[in-house]
Chains A and B, each alone.
Chain A
């Protein structure tokens, strides 16, 4: 119910701009319902007029009067009514097609815009697949529902009201009798749908487990083959497959039963109406002819009466998916935005020093990651952060350009807290090179000038040269116009890393944060990347998060983090002399003869 209410709010928000379209659609559908309801009477009249014509024609006395005029006239009205019906439905379908296209378009762009504003925390705490599926399957479900269900809801609703109205104008007693079974039908439908959704949930769990098994096994196929485990894998598969078959059967039956059940009920209802009608005809106050005509009319109504209900229940799944989609998108919309201070200051380079002062930080409340970290960095210094996985190195980096904010303590540029700067200004001054060099689809040029799309070729080339990647780019047939896609890249991890360094060089940041690549790069390539990094570091204040010590031997200061605390600090020689954690790490990584 809560979902339904929220979904209502969600759709009201996105559909409000289209109130005029909805108004016109409502009017048009009302017109079409009227036309459809009235048209059969003209058909009846045409046949009646034809009968009259035949009778007049058959009688020599009146043969001269027999004329087709009335018949043709009535038939023309009949055609006209269906033309009105068809054009009303056409226009309202066109309007609703526009509404569903435009409103889902607004949702999609809105979701993207929201994504750009949200805190990094959200992305770190949700899987990419989950967020992405909100763009794909959830928006898809919403679009499908709008595209197909919206017009059906209008039509079925109008049809339902129209039939009830027509029935009551003809005979109230029979109208009540026709409608009497409605609660039973709706109750039965609700029961079956509930059973279906329970079984479908269970079935989804089993399918999830089966898919998990298939995924795990096939992804690990190399291991299965080298250990000769294919037969065992097939045997294990059978259990999951059998479970899916069992629960799926229930789900399939419950959801498949609904339609025949409602059709049967409609037939049953027709029988009841016939009983009641013929009872009225035989025992009632009506004349036999009138009663007979009523029975004929009501048999028609009884058969049509359930149609809208059947239609709507067949849309049930679709609507349910759209409600879920609305919930999942609303979840994103309700996430807090990054805090950009009002009247924030503009940061213009680092003049004296950057101070990380007694910083405490936790990603999850109660689970502190940094326990009072203090680091002083003079302008122009290179500081290296070293420590085992989970020691908090990357966390320190996350705080400097405010991907996250400190719990207590502060980070200051020349005495001004980072939280007092305009977010954009802070980030323009702090350049980062990430471990995983995410490139974007587009040309190499577009990627290098990512931070400044206005940059000209000279600046792009200059940056590429500093990053030692220019020669490689020129060796490609399309040079800087070579297309990069992150999916199936022809570039090696090392080449991508160099491009991402060029990308950072181009923006000429005052403070640099370099998160070193850990894997996928051999030590020779790493040395090349190191040379490029050295170019960038020159003349800039920089932080290097080091995984391989070879690259930081020349740092002005090496800070060793362990479990969120600084345990050693100094330059390479000093730390080696201490013969502590750093020295051990160094001996682990380096080759000694």
Chain B
């Protein structure tokens, strides 16, 4: 809850208006019985004048109530949305300040949920708080006090009633808690079954297993149904029990008053209002328990948001003046373990690359190629050892310098919705048309971009679904080279390109970016066959380094990979 205080403070005037309005509404509600009393008396005295004036007061009061309610709603909504919007903006900024490892730890889909559903929960509870919660305690406390003032000797009836109400709620909710846990498991199970069958529909159909799967599903679904009925039954108990308790308390009060009526005849007149107060206490408790279940969900959300906000970035960059770095890359005995893993993914890696070299990295899936490459732009820091760029430990380089020096084209090309130009400018903020064209020529994307109706201003749809896999990769490469980085890493970035385009890209890179160090990670040996040097990874270790011919001759791991890709006919 503390998280919210500074956010709410920012809207203190809206808060004040909203609370003032709720007081006006409460006043209108409380004053109305009094006016009624006056009118009744006036009718008995045949006093037309008083009836009319107080009748008009009553109408005025109703209108004040409506206006107060509307004002309260408007200002509550302003507070709720202000808080939600600011909280969301801060959370987003916080996420953007985190290191990649921190984001991985949360997982991106989980972060999206925290930014959307959780914030929405908080918004609802803030809205509810200023519309409802402030009013209920006032009414509750007021009703208890007035009830005791009315018939002080019956204080224990109120106490017993409240204890019983509490007991019933505790009984139901504690029993429910047990079932809710089981329910959650069953929901997950049922959803998993549905999802699996959905994704594997072709498998289920081709193995003719529809009937069996339905039987499995029905078993879980039936159990879910039974648990949900049990929960429903506990809920069903609540309302009748509440009202029964309250009404028994009323009957008991009347009976008790009857026993002493001869010594306290005035109690007769007090009974009606006492009963009214008992009912008000009941309603306050019902409303409050609804608000509490609601609030408990919001508290879970708030805790999840707080977790994000409280995360300290696990990686920080030094600040300092701009330095020009060259394209040298060096790994000095580097070992790296992913957060949460017990085994290092790469270990004891050491090599050095001179500016302008072209390096290939090969190895089986899971051998650590991408992991190694990710240490260069400092997506992660190694456990031990040093990664150097331009001769400096990456941990001693400013973020701006590192981003300017290292270009990284990802395995899964990520384009954002917007125009092609906007996407390319992500690689170089002020890129003009000329430099876009230059980069597109290198990446072999110019040919299809310039055929689009809006060329560089063509729209990229969500998930870039209007481009083919090969086109996406070529656009990513364009974005990667447009900033003319000193070091360009292509992480399996040409897998969807045909051999001819791939060759053209590599030739253009060699020609246009002579001084750029190129590091190419590839599944296909044909992609890196011309590299100055090829690094062979196996199970996280560097097991070979050399040109294609050297490796074919001396390296078993490389030879095995090569054997699976070699043409039958040598040199056709």
Pairwise interchain contact A116-B100, C-beta atoms closer than 8 A: no
Identify which of B145-153, B217-225, B342-350 touches chain A.
Answer: B217-225
Chain B residues positioned under 8 Å from A108 (CB to CB): 190, 221, 224
Chain B residues positioned under 8 Å from A165 (CB to CB): none
Pairwise interchain contact B205-A292, C-beta atoms closer than 8 A: no
With contacts A54-B261, A214-B92, A438-B199 taken as known, whether A493 is within 8 angstroms of B365 at the C-beta atoms is yes
B565 contacts the other chain (CB 8 A): yes
Query: Could you tell me the distance between the alpha carbons of A500 and B100 in the complex, rounded to whole angstroms?
Result: 35
With contacts A54-B262, A214-B112, A214-B115 taken as known, whether A525 is within 8 angstroms of B364 at the C-beta atoms is yes
A217 contacts the other chain (CB 8 A): yes
With contacts A97-B236, A216-B417, A261-B66 taken as known, whether A587 is within 8 angstroms of B499 at the C-beta atoms is yes
Pairwise interchain contact A94-B399, C-beta atoms closer than 8 A: no
Contact with A along B479-513 (1 / 0, CB 8 A): 10000000000000001001110000000000000
Can you list the 6 inter-chain pairs with the closest CB atoms, starting with the nearest?
A: A260-B69, A97-B232, A264-B66, A93-B236, A438-B200, A105-B225
Query: Could you tell me the distance between the alpha carbons of A400 and B451 in the complex, rounded to whole angstroms?
Result: 39
Pairwise interchain contact B228-A143, C-beta atoms closer than 8 A: yes
Taking CB atoms and an 8 Å cut-off, the chain B residues in 416-435 that contact chain A are 416-417, 426-427
Pairwise interchain contact A241-B197, C-beta atoms closer than 8 A: no
Pairwise interchain contact B205-A274, C-beta atoms closer than 8 A: no
Of A221, A227, A503, which one neighbours B100 at CB under 8 angstroms? Answer: A221
Taking CB atoms and an 8 Å cut-off, the chain B residues in 512-536 that contact chain A are 523-526, 529
* 27 A-B residue pairs with CB within 8 Å: A46-B254, A86-B241, A90-B241, A96-B236, A105-B221, A109-B218, A123-B198, A123-B201, A136-B191, A210-B116, A214-B116, A222-B410, A222-B414, A225-B100, A227-B479, A245-B84, A245-B85, A256-B77, A271-B55, A292-B44, A424-B208, A438-B199, A588-B498, A589-B565, A590-B526, A591-B525, A592-B570
B70 contacts the other chain (CB 8 A): yes
Identify which of A75-83, A466-474, A561-569 touches chain B.
Answer: A75-83
What distance in Å separates the Cβ of A89 from its nearest Cβ neighbour in chain B? Answer: 4
What distance in Å separates the Cβ of A140 from its nearest Cβ neighbour in chain B? Answer: 9
Of B111, B191, B262, B524, which one neighbours A132 at CB under 8 angstroms? Answer: B191
Query: Could you tell me the distance between the alpha carbons of A113 and B78 in the complex, rounded to whole angstroms?
Result: 47
Pairwise interchain contact A47-B366, C-beta atoms closer than 8 A: no
Of A271, A278, A299, A492, which one neighbours B62 at CB under 8 angstroms? Answer: A271
Given contacts A135-B194, A220-B414, A238-B89, list 16 more A-B pairs with CB under 8 A: A72-B255, A90-B241, A93-B236, A94-B233, A97-B229, A112-B193, A135-B190, A147-B228, A211-B115, A225-B99, A245-B81, A438-B200, A519-B495, A550-B565, A591-B524, A591-B566
Q: How many A-B pairs fall under 8 Å by CB? A: 407
Pairwise interchain contact B565-A147, C-beta atoms closer than 8 A: no
Pairwise interchain contact B414-A75, C-beta atoms closer than 8 A: no
Taking CB atoms and an 8 Å cut-off, the chain A residues in 231-254 that contact chain B are 231-234, 237-238, 241-242, 244-245, 248-249, 252-253
Pairwise interchain contact A115-B365, C-beta atoms closer than 8 A: no
Taking CB atoms and an 8 Å cut-off, the chain B residues in 316-330 that contact chain A are none
The closest CB in chain A to the CB of B72 belongs to: A260
Chain B residues positioned under 8 Å from A589 (CB to CB): 499, 524, 526, 565
A53 contacts the other chain (CB 8 A): yes
What distance in Å separates the Cβ of B311 from its nearest Cβ neighbour in chain A? Answer: 14
Contact with B along A552-593 (1 / 0, CB 8 A): 010000000000000000001000100000000011111111
Chain A residues positioned under 8 Å from B211 (CB to CB): 116
Query: Could you tell me the distance between the alpha carbons of A228 and B96 in the complex, rounded to whole angstroms?
Result: 10
Chain A residues positioned under 8 Å from B197 (CB to CB): 112, 115-116
What distance in Å separates the Cβ of B293 from its nearest Cβ neighbour in chain A? Answer: 12
Chain B residues positioned under 8 Å from A492 (CB to CB): 365-366
Chain A residues positioned under 8 Å from B111 (CB to CB): 218
Residues of A within 8 A of B (CB-CB), count: 154
B73 contacts the other chain (CB 8 A): yes
Pairwise interchain contact A451-B43, C-beta atoms closer than 8 A: no
B240 contacts the other chain (CB 8 A): yes
Chain B residues positioned under 8 Å from A305 (CB to CB): none
Pairwise interchain contact A267-B199, C-beta atoms closer than 8 A: no
Chain A residues positioned under 8 Å from B100 (CB to CB): 221-222, 225
Pairwise interchain contact A241-B88, C-beta atoms closer than 8 A: yes
B103 contacts the other chain (CB 8 A): yes
Chain A residues positioned under 8 Å from B414 (CB to CB): 219-220, 222-223
Chain B residues positioned under 8 Å from A523 (CB to CB): 523, 561, 564-565
Chain A residues positioned under 8 Å from B65 (CB to CB): 260, 263-264, 267
Pairwise interchain contact B226-A101, C-beta atoms closer than 8 A: yes
Chain A residues positioned under 8 Å from B417 (CB to CB): 212, 216
Identify which of A323-331, A341-349, A367-375, A426-434 touches chain B.
Answer: A426-434
With contacts A101-B232, A591-B525 taken as known, whether A268 is within 8 angstroms of B364 at the C-beta atoms is no
Chain B residues positioned under 8 Å from A587 (CB to CB): 499, 567, 572
Identify which of B243-251, B353-361, B389-397, B439-447 touches chain A.
Answer: B243-251
Query: Could you tell me the distance between the alpha carbons of A326 and B200 in the complex, rounded to whole angstroms?
Result: 26
Query: Could you tell me the distance between the alpha carbons of A43 and B251 in the complex, rounded to whole angstroms?
Result: 8
B182 contacts the other chain (CB 8 A): no
Identify which of B32-40, B157-165, B297-305 touches chain A.
Answer: B32-40
Pairwise interchain contact A47-B271, C-beta atoms closer than 8 A: yes
Which of B42, B123, B258 has the most chain A CB atoms closer than 10 A to its own CB? B258
Chain B residues positioned under 8 Å from A576 (CB to CB): 569, 572
B341 contacts the other chain (CB 8 A): no
Query: Could you tell me the distance between the alpha carbons of A522 and B569 in the complex, rounded to whole angstroms?
Result: 22
Pairwise interchain contact A128-B213, C-beta atoms closer than 8 A: no
Of A43, A86, A451, A550, which one neighbours B243 at CB under 8 angstroms? Answer: A86
Pairwise interchain contact A592-B571, C-beta atoms closer than 8 A: yes
With contacts A238-B89, A292-B43 taken as known, whether A102 is within 8 angstroms of B199 at the C-beta atoms is no
Chain A residues positioned under 8 Å from B69 (CB to CB): 257, 259-261, 263-264
Taking CB atoms and an 8 Å cut-off, the chain B residues in 361-400 that contact chain A are 364-366, 377, 379, 399-400
Chain B residues positioned under 8 Å from A592 (CB to CB): 567, 570-572
A230 contacts the other chain (CB 8 A): yes
Of B43, B59, B529, which one neighbours A268 at CB under 8 angstroms? Answer: B59
Chain A residues positioned under 8 Å from B403 (CB to CB): 226-228
Pairwise interchain contact B564-A524, C-beta atoms closer than 8 A: yes
Query: Could you tell me the distance between the alpha carbons of A79 and B124 in the complex, rounded to whole angstroms?
Result: 40
Chain B residues positioned under 8 Å from A238 (CB to CB): 89
Taking CB atoms and an 8 Å cut-off, the chain B residues in 523-552 that contact chain A are 523-526, 529, 548
Contact with B along A411-442 (1 / 0, CB 8 A): 00000000000001001101110100011110
B169 contacts the other chain (CB 8 A): no
A543 contacts the other chain (CB 8 A): no
The closest CB in chain A to the CB of B406 belongs to: A226
A315 contacts the other chain (CB 8 A): no
Pairwise interchain contact B46-A282, C-beta atoms closer than 8 A: yes
The closest CB in chain B to the CB of A89 belongs to: B240
Pairwise interchain contact A212-B567, C-beta atoms closer than 8 A: no
Pairwise interchain contact B198-A218, C-beta atoms closer than 8 A: no
Chain A residues positioned under 8 Å from B377 (CB to CB): 225-226
Chain B residues positioned under 8 Å from A450 (CB to CB): 203, 207, 209
Chain A residues positioned under 8 Å from B194 (CB to CB): 112, 115, 132, 135-136
Query: Could you tell me the distance between the alpha carbons of A85 and B248 in the complex, rounded to whole angstroms?
Result: 12
Pairwise interchain contact B365-A522, C-beta atoms closer than 8 A: yes
Chain A residues positioned under 8 Å from B399 (CB to CB): 228
Pairwise interchain contact B243-A85, C-beta atoms closer than 8 A: yes
B307 contacts the other chain (CB 8 A): no
What distance in Å separates the Cβ of B25 from its nearest Cβ neighbour in chain A? Answer: 7
B20 contacts the other chain (CB 8 A): no
Query: Could you tell me the distance between the alpha carbons of A234 and B89 in the complex, rounded to whole angstroms?
Result: 8
With contacts A132-B191, A132-B198, A264-B66 taken as known, whether A252 is within 8 angstroms of B209 at the C-beta atoms is no
With contacts A79-B251, A229-B426, A270-B58 taken as known, whether A220 is within 8 angstroms of B262 at the C-beta atoms is no
Contact with B along A492-521 (1 / 0, CB 8 A): 111000001001000100000000000111
Chain B residues positioned under 8 Å from A178 (CB to CB): none
Pairwise interchain contact B43-A216, C-beta atoms closer than 8 A: no
The closest CB in chain A to the CB of B367 belongs to: A522
Pairwise interchain contact A233-B96, C-beta atoms closer than 8 A: yes
What distance in Å separates the Cβ of A317 from its nearest Cβ neighbour in chain B? Answer: 12
